Chains A and B, each alone.
Chain A
């Protein structure tokens, strides 16, 4: 029996092994319980990490941070423009600047550049607002559906901004070790173009009556074995 070293198994689990070697491990898995266990543990520890950090990436970026970074980027843009100007030292260029400035003043466009930048800023802000609105819309739908709907019946919400329709359907209900009700559910987003994203989640009801999402799962990844005893 071939003994695979840890580095090879890690690469196998990460899908980074060349196909020939991966095939060898794949076939060894069927008759080697010890190998199966090693692969299982490696795969599961990575899944635990990913799931634990999922909550960080799904929470909204603090406005303070987003604003600071946006301002820094904007300041850099303006500096670049300022830095670029002294290069235009030829008389013709200066004359050009003078003419543009005069025309700009005439038409009251002196703030044209600032206005353009402001538009970008507003656009960014609008996108963030839209994303936040989508998030809160879906969150409300999940709360209401898990609280009221029977398993197997779906509820939907249409995002007025994008026209997307989000569907939530509770699949299964159970009580966890603390005696709280938990529900697995399916969440699907149908875009206007017709494409559909489906993911699965599990949420448990807190003592305060709030459904706390424990995990999200996108099909194609490992099953959330870690959440079931």
Chain B
């Protein structure tokens, strides 16, 4: 691995962690995921084509690593079941604790999405990849990106509604309105 690629890999770590965090649902798993993905990337660095985006390549490795981890551990299902058991109200009341939605309540909403929708939503909305770049990172046609994305985004409407409910319930309690 040449020094430049090495520097680039290290520089991307914060964003790789963010993507992994969105996928795995917690930071400890995310760091394990990033580390395993980096190991794979370093081992297969010959497969990266200079001139193409390094981050798209890394996102793709994280995605495949994550799918492998999920298949072997099946932690995902257990976690999703846990979140489902907690019910929607848990995240609502938590969000109500402040006048902003916490990462945890956003994560809970993300966790309810099917895996392939969550991947696309994270790449486009959080990592701010273009549709073409996301298609490249996931190895699927752009039409697939668009349909998964729109289904995922519609499901996330609840985030906005949740926040609206919070502010309305606060207003009805007669508290001082901000601004």
Residues of A within 8 A of B (CB): 6-7, 9-11, 14, 16, 41-42, 44-46, 48-53, 55-59, 61-62, 65-66, 68-70, 72-74, 76-77, 80, 120, 124, 174-178, 182, 214-215, 226-229
Cα(A12)–Cα(B123), bound, Å: 17
Would B159 and A57 count as touching, CB distance under 8 A?
no
* CB of B72 closer than 8 Å to a CB of A: no
Apart from the given pairs A53-B21, A53-B103, 15 other A-B contacts in the complex at a CB distance below 8 Å: A11-B131, A46-B153, A48-B159, A49-B106, A56-B18, A57-B18, A59-B14, A65-B35, A66-B13, A69-B10, A73-B10, A124-B7, A174-B179, A176-B98, A228-B99
Would B99 and A6 count as touching, CB distance under 8 A?
no
- If A69-B9, A72-B42 touch, whether A45 touches B103 (CB-CB below 8 Å) is no
Would B126 and A42 count as touching, CB distance under 8 A?
no
Majority DSSP secondary structure for residues of A touching B: helix
The 3 closest A-B pairs by CB, nearest first: A52-B106, A229-B167, A7-B150
Would A214 and B100 count as touching, CB distance under 8 A?
yes
Q: How far apart are B154's CB and chain A's nearest CB, in angstroms? A: 6
Would A61 and B14 count as touching, CB distance under 8 A?
yes
B1 contact set on A, CB distance < 8 A: 73, 76-77, 80
- If A14-B131, A226-B163 touch, whether A175 touches B176 (CB-CB below 8 Å) is yes
Q: How far apart are B169's CB and chain A's nearest CB, in angstroms? A: 10
Would A16 and B130 count as touching, CB distance under 8 A?
yes
Chain B contacts with A in 120-135, Cβ cutoff 8 A? 121-122, 124-126, 128, 130-131
* CB of B34 closer than 8 Å to a CB of A: yes
Which of A14, A65, A178 is B98 in contact with, Cβ under 8 Å? A178
Count of chain B residues with a beta carbon within 8 Å of a chain A beta carbon: 60
Q: How many A-B residue pairs have CB under 8 A?
A: 154
Which of B10, B103, B154, B161 is A56 in contact with, Cβ under 8 Å? B103
B122 contact set on A, CB distance < 8 A: 49
Majority DSSP secondary structure for residues of B touching A: helix
Would A52 and B102 count as touching, CB distance under 8 A?
yes
Which of A16, A62, A69, A120 is B3 in contact with, Cβ under 8 Å? A120
Q: How far apart are A177's CB and chain B's nearest CB, in angstroms? A: 5
Would B150 and A77 count as touching, CB distance under 8 A?
no
B124 contact set on A, CB distance < 8 A: 14
Would A48 and B42 count as touching, CB distance under 8 A?
no
B39 contact set on A, CB distance < 8 A: 72
- If A48-B106, A49-B125 touch, whether A6 touches B154 (CB-CB below 8 Å) is yes
Would A55 and B159 count as touching, CB distance under 8 A?
no
* CB of B67 closer than 8 Å to a CB of A: no
A77 contact set on B, CB distance < 8 A: 1-3, 6
Q: Nearest A residue to B156 by beta-carbon distance?
A: A45
Chain B contacts with A in 127-157, Cβ cutoff 8 A? 128, 130-131, 146-147, 149-150, 153-154, 156-157
Q: How far apart are B88's CB and chain A's nearest CB, in angstroms? A: 16
Q: What are 26 of the A-B contact pairs (CB < 8 Å)?
A: A7-B150, A9-B150, A10-B153, A41-B157, A45-B153, A45-B160, A52-B101, A52-B103, A53-B103, A56-B18, A59-B14, A65-B13, A68-B35, A69-B38, A72-B38, A72-B42, A76-B45, A77-B6, A120-B6, A124-B10, A174-B178, A178-B98, A226-B100, A227-B100, A229-B178, A229-B179
